[in-house]
Amino acid sequence: MGDAGEGLVDTDSKIQERMEELQMSRAQARKPAIKNQEARRKVESLKLARKEMERQLENTPHAVRRTQITSAIEDLDRRIAGIEI
Give 21-55 pLDDT, tens digit per residue: 888 888 777 766 667 888 999 999 999 999 999 99
Provide the 3-class DSSP secondary structure of residue 1.
coil
pLDDT value at residue 63: 96
The mean per-residue pLDDT over the stretch 65-82 comes to: 96
Confidence of residue 76 (pLDDT cuts 50, 70, 90): very high
Cα separation, 28 vs 13, in Å, equals 23
8 A C-beta contact, residue 73 and residue 53: yes
For the chain, how far is it from start to end, CA to CA, in angstroms?
A: 58
Q: What is the mean pLDDT of residues 52-70?
A: 96
The number of distinct structural domains making up the chain is 1
Q: Which domain holds residue 30?
A: 2-82
pLDDT at residue 80 tops 90: yes
Distance between CA atoms of 38 and 45, rounded to whole angstroms? 11
Per cent of the chain over pLDDT 70 is 81
